Amino acid sequence: MNYTFRELRKKEIIDLCDGARLGFAEDLVIDGCGNILCVTVPPSGFHFPFGKGECLQIPWKNIQRITTETIWVKLNP
């Protein structure tokens, strides 16, 4: 199934290793050839324009499954 970025942003990202709820996708990093490198998630799952902390970058290869409501990832395989 294909998804738009707008649809991906509505899905909660969950780590399969520990069940942690990581938040929602904020952005995608794409290389010059159009390949998705990673998904970025704001700190604590919330977006504050002037907040402190680094965005979590989840490599695209770590995404295990995308369902109707969630994106399942393995951060520490």
Q: Which helix (H) or strand (E) holds 17?
A: none
Q: Show the domain range for 60.
A: 5-73
**Residue 12: which CATH number?**
2.30.30.240
**Tokens 């290869």, residue located:** 61
For the segment 52-67, the average pLDDT, to the nearest whole number, is: 90
Q: What is the sign, positive or negative, of the torsion defined by CA atoms of 30, 58, 7, 71?
A: positive
Determine the pLDDT at residue 62. Answer: 96
Other beta carbons within 10 angstroms of residue 63's beta carbon come to 16
Structure letter (DSSP) for residue 32: T
Number of domains in the chain: 1
**For residue 48, is pLDDT > 80?**
no
**For the residues 46-67, what does the mean pLDDT come to?**
80
Q: Is the pLDDT of residue 44 over 90?
A: no
pTM of the predicted protein model = 0.81
